[in-house]
Structure 1
Amino acid sequence: MASLRQLLDSLSKEQRRNQELLASLAFALRSFTNLGRFLELVPLVATRLVDAEGALLVAFLPDGRLWREQLHGGPAELLRQVASLSDAQFQQASGDEAVASLLDALVRRQLADRPLVATSLTARSRIRGRLYVYGAKTGFSWSESHRRHVQLVADLAGVALEGDDLLQEARRHERLDRQLSTGAAIQAQLLPDQCPVIEGVELAASCRAAFQVGGDYYDFIPTRPQLLGRMREQSRWALVIGDVMGKGVPAGLLMTLLRGMLRAEVLSGHPPDRILHDLNQLAQEDLSQSHRFVTLFYSDFDPRTRLLRYANAAHNPPLIWRKLRHAVERLDAPGLLIGLQSEAEYGCEQIVLDPGDVLLCYTDGVTEASGLNGERFDEERLVKALEAACRSGVGAQGILDQLFARLDRFVGSDRQLDDDASMVVLKVREEVMLPSLPH
């Protein structure tokens, strides 16, 4: 009876010890901030759990290569042999089972006279490493309980490796989000934060990006930036709207590049068709390497004569509300996409705006916006919305607000736009008509 009691006490102590070891490893798994420190515990805990002589932990990188910085345990010669395996050997042993067989053969050669058990560190059906536990040369045997304990330790190690992958991925996403936020802030600064004062007209503009960084662009550029005050307000201004094919960061970077080229070209004083011709040649190499193209509507407006000259590089033709006729017309001119052909030619047209006329420039994100039923907003709806806004008698900002409100109702207030949507409104102020005096 005394011997039986001693055996039970011994088993109870061993069970409590094993529970404490597993609990400590589980606690370390919940709270670890350093993967290497946690993995150092794995062979130690596995060894003590089964009263073995030692253990070796071999971890793999997420791409399947040997993670040499995460080899833990011993013996030292075996560690050196495993670390000397080349990436080419791992690539040749394609597949989890082949890699496990390669390692097992090496370990068994080094520990040929030791009782050995090997198991995989698995997470989400992927083998993330191998755990080897070996006993003394004599007096050691493996039980089913030993094997279960070793497997449990290996599973916890697999969870740790997978958790570290997810943590690193989350950190990469955080860094990318910060970079995108920075890029969005920089791009927002490149778009005019407010419309300039041009004599005789009202201006309003807005861009809604589908992503943090977008490919839409609009600008108001003085053709004689050296002028100040009223002389600047009365000078000719360039009004531009464009769209890089594509979305996100690449489109935003290209549009930023084009903005710098265009602003430099405006200073030449050339007419709109020449501006687009030169811009197309300047941007040809950069756009051809990116395999992207740009649509661009370029115009210049003279407040003294109300003459609008314009050229179009395959952009959506702007709409103009003619106050006297109460009708909407399209402004278009022949021309190819920027970056499509090096020697492209562009036509130049012109129109005199009358008091009360409204010019609307927009990108295809407006007309191609999809509604709840899958239909596109299309140009016809935009024309009707423009007519209604112009008939209401509000100013440029009021017209812009009504147009975006109509677009929001069509798309749905809780839905994201599929593409960047930008609109620029220019309204010619209506002249005050004084009554004629009798003779």
Structure 2
Amino acid sequence: MKPAILPAPPKPEPVAELGTDQQPMLYLLGGLAFALRSFNNLNQILELTAFVASQLTAADGGALVLFNPNGTIQLDQLHCSDLDRREQIRAEMEQIAQALSAQEPILKTEGSLSVKIPALEHLLDERLRQSLGPDVRLFGTPLLIRSSVQGRLYVFSRQPGYQWNERRQQLLRLVADQAGVAIENERLTAALRRKMALEKEMEIGSYIQTQLLPRQYPQVPGIRLAARCRVASKVGGDYYDFIKIPSERPENSRAAADEPVGSLAPSPEPSEDFRLAIVIGDVMGKGVPAGMLMSMTRAMVRAEALNRHSPARVLQHLNRAMYSDLENSNRFISLFYSEYDPRSRRLCFSNAAHNPTLWWRARSRDIQPLDTEGALIGLEEHSQYSESCVHLQPGDVVVYYTDGYVEAANTRGERLETSGLMEAIQRAASRYESPEEILENLFEQMDAFRGRQGSHPVVPGPPVDAGLLFQDEISLRPEPVDDTTLVVLKVLPDSEPT
């Protein structure tokens, strides 16, 4: 009978090679592993790194030098058994790190990282050896994080017979690997915290945005309205509003101002003795800051509108009032403000660098952009705004929009552009009668261009289950990069009731 062939024993790890007479080394490695699992403070773990490295290799001291992402070199930790020389060594190493950080040819020139790092390591080793003196032996190993050199771990010894053998090299690399794991864990944890904070901010901003958008359409003789805001992420800066403005009746101003915010309930007996302000805008930015600016903009626009100022004067007052706040935040607002008079079917408007509103005329079936000169809100303190008026006719359609629609891109990266929106309006207005159908078809045409289904609708009405908003997000097609808001105004035939 042939003897059984046993598999070759596995190659022993460095720790396994330590005999029972070297239990202190096992204790040090175990302590470092425990710190890696238990400590939440990265600095505490790295403090142990230099100490454990020097103890495991029987050296006089150890040092941890980090290569920061901003191109600087930092002496992070130093352990030295010679207390008399420790501060001197620290000062010299920090001086070397600062000097190398300031050398642009090494850290800040164009080129491959794999080329720069070996040169940097070699130069750093040489400078440290010169600083420590000829009677001190210095040994180092790279600190790797995801196969990228992020620093150096050193040990140094003044002992005349100090031997730098293979086992000590393995132990130093083992400590450096654990330090790299600790640094990477800290970076991942910090990134997760930032992500969670951003998501929380987006949720708060989303709540602010949904509370600010109108929940109902105002009832206006002779027209019907439809609107929708589709957000690209949880929250953006798109904003629209409807404001009933009493016509030269001061006693009604207080009642109008006291209407619930975001809820413009239909009047049981529609009267033509008012004008309707239709506003659409885009606050640059996302999250809570954009939501707060949107809230402030909405309140100030309402206040100016209810004072019965002209559209141009509304934007001028708004710009002057908000200039200092917007200048400090480096944010701006594009805004299209219009007022519709149901008695004359007259639409007057002023534009603060927003997308021109598009007017589809039923008789000629052509589209005319409605635009005036004016700068972004917050760009210049003393900006002047102009205004213009048009007379709408039965069957006409007016479409207000934000740049998310015209910037929609397909799988080839082509954008829809304003010309694409005008073609979509031409098809929808010619085919459908109600503004709701026109609005729905405009979004369908945008989605067909992009090659996907719609997502994230925010429309007037009861709150939508947040879970439903993300059901169609699994797609290989491009995601929208900006919010998309449409407001459709349809002038009814003379015989049709409101």
- 1:61–1:67 contact (8 Å) kept in structure 2: no
What letter corresponds to residue 149 of structure 2 in structure 1? Answer: R
Task: For 1:67 and 1:180, locate their aligned partners in 2 and report how far apart those are by CA, in whole Å.
Answer: 38
- 2:51–2:62 contact (8 Å) kept in structure 1: no
| Higher deviation after alignment, 73-82 or 13-22 | 13-22
Superposition deviation, residue 407 in structure 1: 0.3
Match of 2:436 among 397, 415, 439: 397
Superposition deviation, residue 78 in structure 1: 4.9
Q: How does 1:404-415 map onto structure 2 within 5 Å?
A: 404-413=443-452, 414-415=477-478
1:383 aligns with 2:422: yes
Secondary structure of the residue aligned to 1:375 is coil
Q: How does 1:248-397 map onto structure 2 within 5 Å?
A: 248=286, 255-286=294-325, 294-323=333-362, 325=363, 327-339=365-377, 342-354=382-394, 356-397=395-436
Task: For 1:114 and 1:84, locate their aligned partners in 2 and report how far apart those are by CA, in whole Å.
Answer: 17
- 1:47–1:54 contact (8 Å) kept in structure 2: yes
1:92 aligns with 2:92: no
Number of corresponding residues? 416
Superposition deviation, residue 431 in structure 1: 5.2
What letter corresponds to residue 403 of structure 1 in structure 2? Answer: L
Superposition deviation, residue 426 in structure 1: 2.0
Task: For 2:414 and 2:53, locate their aligned partners in 1 and report how far apart those are by CA, in whole Å.
Answer: 62
Structure of greater relative contact order (alpha carbons < 8 Å, 6+ residues apart) = 2
308 and 247 in structure 1: CA distance in 2 versus 1, 3 angstrom threshold: same
Secondary structure of the residue aligned to 2:384 is coil
Task: For 1:231 and 1:300, locate their aligned partners in 2 and report how far apart those are by CA, in whole Å.
Answer: 22
Q: Corresponding residue for 2:195?
A: 173
Q: Corresponding residue for 2:19?
A: 13
Q: Corresponding residue for 2:111?
A: none
Q: Which has the larger radius of gyration?
A: 1
Task: For 1:298 and 1:394, locate their aligned partners in 2 and report how far apart those are by CA, in whole Å.
Answer: 25
Task: For 2:223 and 2:405, locate their aligned partners in 1 and report how far apart those are by CA, in whole Å.
Answer: 24
| Higher deviation after alignment, 403-412 or 259-268 | 259-268
Task: For 1:232 and 1:282, locate their aligned partners in 2 and report how far apart those are by CA, in whole Å.
Answer: 36
Q: Corresponding residue for 1:424?
A: 487
393 and 310 in structure 1: CA distance in 2 versus 1, 3 angstrom threshold: same
What do the CA deviations read for 1:176-202 (whole angstroms, capped 9, x no partner)?
332233233323333334434444533
Could you tell me which runs of 5 or more consecutive residues in structure 2 were left unpaired when the two chains were aligned.
1-15, 107-119, 246-252, 260-265, 453-476
Q: Corresponding residue for 2:117?
A: none
What do the CA deviations read for 1:316-372 (whole angstroms, capped 9, x no partner)?
33233444x272432524322235552424022132443x43321112322232223
289 and 233 in structure 1: CA distance in 2 versus 1, 3 angstrom threshold: farther
Q: Corresponding residue for 2:238?
A: 216
217 and 88 in structure 1: CA distance in 2 versus 1, 3 angstrom threshold: farther
What letter corresponds to residue 131 of structure 1 in structure 2? Answer: Y
Superposition deviation, residue 238 in structure 1: 0.9
1:132 aligns with 2:161: no
| Higher deviation after alignment, 403-412 or 154-163 | 154-163
425 and 113 in structure 1: CA distance in 2 versus 1, 3 angstrom threshold: same
Task: For 1:295 and 1:232, locate their aligned partners in 2 and report how far apart those are by CA, in whole Å.
Answer: 35
Secondary structure of the residue aligned to 2:154 is strand
Secondary structure of the residue aligned to 2:370 is coil
90 and 180 in structure 1: CA distance in 2 versus 1, 3 angstrom threshold: farther
114 and 84 in structure 1: CA distance in 2 versus 1, 3 angstrom threshold: closer
119 and 383 in structure 1: CA distance in 2 versus 1, 3 angstrom threshold: closer
Superposition deviation, residue 275 in structure 1: 1.7
Task: For 1:384 and 1:225, locate their aligned partners in 2 and report how far apart those are by CA, in whole Å.
Answer: 43
Task: For 2:269 and 2:192, locate their aligned partners in 1 and report how far apart those are by CA, in whole Å.
Answer: 51
What do the CA deviations read for 1:97-142 (whole angstroms, capped 9, x no partner)?
4555565555x36xx877664445344543434332548x576533
Task: For 1:213 and 1:59, locate their aligned partners in 2 and report how far apart those are by CA, in whole Å.
Answer: 42
Task: For 1:31 and 1:281, locate their aligned partners in 2 and report how far apart those are by CA, in whole Å.
Answer: 57
Task: For 2:321 and 2:269, locate their aligned partners in 1 and report how far apart those are by CA, in whole Å.
Answer: 28
Superposition deviation, residue 170 in structure 1: 3.2
| Higher deviation after alignment, 213-222 or 55-64 | 55-64
125 and 377 in structure 1: CA distance in 2 versus 1, 3 angstrom threshold: closer
What letter corresponds to residue 214 of structure 1 in structure 2? Answer: G
Q: How does 1:191-270 map onto structure 2 within 5 Å?
A: 191-223=213-245, 224=253, 226-227=255-256, 230=267, 234=271, 235-244=274-283, 247-248=285-286, 255-270=294-309
Superposition deviation, residue 93 in structure 1: 3.3
- Over the aligned positions, Cα root-mean-square deviation in angstroms equals 4.1
193 and 57 in structure 1: CA distance in 2 versus 1, 3 angstrom threshold: farther
Task: Tell me the percent identity.
Answer: 34
Superposition deviation, residue 163 in structure 1: 3.4
Secondary structure of the residue aligned to 1:316 is coil
Q: Corresponding residue for 1:3?
A: none
- 1:333–1:346 contact (8 Å) kept in structure 2: no
- 1:273–1:311 contact (8 Å) kept in structure 2: yes
28 and 318 in structure 1: CA distance in 2 versus 1, 3 angstrom threshold: same
Task: For 2:93 and 2:17, locate their aligned partners in 1 and report how far apart those are by CA, in whole Å.
Answer: 45
- 2:50–2:153 contact (8 Å) kept in structure 1: no
Q: TM-score of the superposition, structure 2-length normalised? A: 0.68
Superposition deviation, residue 75 in structure 1: 4.7
What letter corresponds to residue 58 of structure 1 in structure 2? Answer: L
105 and 179 in structure 1: CA distance in 2 versus 1, 3 angstrom threshold: farther
- 2:344–2:391 contact (8 Å) kept in structure 1: no
Task: For 1:91 and 1:47, locate their aligned partners in 2 and report how far apart those are by CA, in whole Å.
Answer: 24
Task: For 1:80 and 1:397, locate their aligned partners in 2 and report how far apart those are by CA, in whole Å.
Answer: 76
